[in-house]
Amino acid sequence: RNDTVGFIGLGQMGFKMANNLYQKMNSPLIIHDINKAAMEKFTLLHKSTLSQKPIFHVNSPIEVARKASIIITMLPSSPHVKKVYLEGQDSLINGVDENSFLIDSSTVDQSVSKLVSNQIIDKGARAIDAPVSGGIVGAEAATLTFMVGASTSEDFNKAKEYLSHMGKNIVYCGKLGTGQIAKICNNMLLAISMVGVAETMNLGVQLGMDAKLLANILNTSTGRCWSSEVYNPYPGILPNVPSSKNYEGGFSNTLMAKDTRLAVKAAIDSNSTIILGAIAQQLYNQLSKTAGYEKCDFSSIYKWLNDLSRV
Ligand code: NAD
């Protein structure tokens, strides 16, 4: 079990992250997801190396904790993280000991993150928050940014050893929960910038401008940002981004509604004024409740605006 790594949550991001981790480490990997098909797909992808580096499927978080000492989780939101870490007989907390080191890369409420980590630490194990930025493109290329909240710099350094297999920038943000603060601030800005780029592309196209030309101009002008340059929401401008694949894959409207909700909640709690952030939250809330849009990538705000423009 010593130094064996376990990975829980093989979704849009976790699958690609675990893939890089497995390829770069010279050791077996323990995996768990409630979606068994995701585990099977993962193992099938690595069938040529299984004899040297086995991949073990397990059916519960506690089994991951019993078989692995380093555990990385990549789950959708706060309730999922609470469930996997703390709730029920087969949760992680019932399997950890003083050798366990838990890294949660999911984006969750910072109060939930602190609660979960502190309960694990109370059991004698170590736990940190390390949410990520960079999307599925960064997850695939192992160029993610990890924002790490950890009780000690020793914990940060230990996490870095593993996180550097999946990311390029591993940043120590401070005490537990601070990784989550950095992450929701980033995603609030991302939501605002995506809405802005989608509105801009839609306006330009409605006025008769060629979409590719407009995107090129934006990307060499002052409007340039990640949403225009790396993840443009207009279909066909960039290959391999969700907007060019019918808005499939990527970062769902449901998850963006969740992240902006976390930002709005944090703003209320800290009495901070966030006007555009609150508007972006309402837009993504709406999209996450609109039939056909829930699971689409968050760049589908362009399609939604475009549909409205034709009414
Ligand atoms: P996802 O929904 O695609 O994947 C989540 C995975 O967790 C799924 O495979 C699901 O089956 C599994 N899961 C859910 N509940 C479980 C449980 N109780 N036990 C075991 N497995 C369980 O989500 P994602 O897009 O990969 O995002 C994961 C996290 O990363 C989220 O917090 C998200 O906000 C954050 N994030 C996503 C992106 C992105 O571009 N998708 C980018 C940065 C951060």
Task: Give the span between the Cα atoms of 116 and 95, in whole angstroms.
Answer: 14
| Residues 12, 136 within the same domain | yes
The Å distance, Cα 216 to ligand 1 centre, comes to 33
Residue that is written with structure tokens 């502190």 in the block:
118
Going by C-beta distance under 8 Å and a sequence separation of 6 or more, which residues neighbour residue 14? 7, 8, 33, 74
Q: What is the CATH number of the domain that holds 242?
A: 1.10.1040.10
Cβ distance 8 to 33 under 8 Å? Answer: yes
With a cut of 70, list the residues of the chain below it in pLDDT. Answer: 311
Range of the domain at 250: 181-310
Of the residues 144, 175, 206, the one at which a domain ends:
175
9 lines ligand 1 (CB under 6 A): yes
43 contacts 72 by C-beta, under 8 angstroms: no
Q: Supply the pLDDT for residue 43.
A: 98
Q: Are residues 296 and 222 located together in one domain of the fold?
A: yes
Residue 303 sits at the vertex; the CA angle it makes with 301 and 305, to the nearest 5 degrees, is 70
Question: What's the gap in Å between 264 CA and the centre of ligand 1?
Answer: 21
What was the pLDDT predicted at 80?
98
How far is Cα 182 from Cα 146, in angstroms, rounded to an integer? Answer: 10
One domain for residues 170 and 203:
no
C-beta 187 within 6 A of ligand 1: no
Query: What is the overall mean pLDDT for the chain?
Result: 97
Question: How is 41-69 classified by DSSP, letter by letter?
Answer: HHHHHTTTTTTTS-EEE-SSHHHHHHH-S
> Could you read off the pLDDT of 93-149 as tens digits, one per residue?
999 999 999 999 999 999 999 999 999 999 999 999 999 999 898 999 999 999 999
Kindly state whether residues 164 and 68 are assigned to the same domain: yes
Contacts of 105 (CB under 8 A, 6+ apart): 13, 17, 72, 73, 74, 130, 131, 132, 146
pLDDT number for residue 311: 62
How many C-alpha atoms does 20 have within 13 Å on its Cβ side?
20
Domain boundary among 175, 190, 206: 175
Q: Are 166 and 203 members of one domain? A: no
Q: Ligand 1, residue 10: give the atom nearest the CA.
A: 9
**Of 128, 153, 175, the domain-final residue:** 175
Tell me, what's the pLDDT at 310?
72
12 in Cβ contact with 250 (< 8 Å): yes
Note whether 109 and 49 are same-domain residues: yes
Q: Which two tokens stand for residue 297?
A: 């990538």
167 and 187 belong to one structural domain: no
The partner residues of 129 in beta bridges, in order of sequence, read: 104, 149
127 with 202, same domain: the answer is no
Nearest to 295 by CA among 17, 7, 12: 12
pLDDT at 56: 97
Measure 204 CA to ligand 1 centroid, in angstroms.
34
Strands 167-174 and 144-149, how do they pair? Answer: parallel
Q: Is the pTM of this model over 0.80?
A: yes
Are residues 170 and 187 part of one domain?
no
Position 206: which residue type?
Q
Asked if residue 222 and residue 123 are part of one domain, the reply reads no
76 lines ligand 1 (CB under 6 A): yes
Tell me how many degrees the CA angle 277-279-281 measures, rounded to the nearest 5: 70
**36 and 171 part of one domain:** yes
Residue 33 Cα to ligand 1 midpoint, Å, equals 10
Evaluate whether 47 touches 23 at the Cβ level (below 8 Å): no
Q: Considering only CA atoms, which of 254, 229, 232, 228 is closest in space to residue 241?
A: 232
Q: What is the CATH number of the domain that holds 158?
A: 3.40.50.720
Residues assigned a catalytic role: 183
On whether both 166 and 195 belong to a single domain, the answer is no
- The residue whose C-alpha atom lies closest to atom 12 belonging to ligand 1 is 9
- Burial of residue 136, with CB atoms counted within 10 A of its CB: 0-12 exposed, 13-18 middle, 19 or more buried: buried
State if residue 10 touches ligand 1 by the CB under 6 angstroms criterion: yes
Domain count, the chain: 2
What confidence score (pLDDT) does residue 16 get? Answer: 98
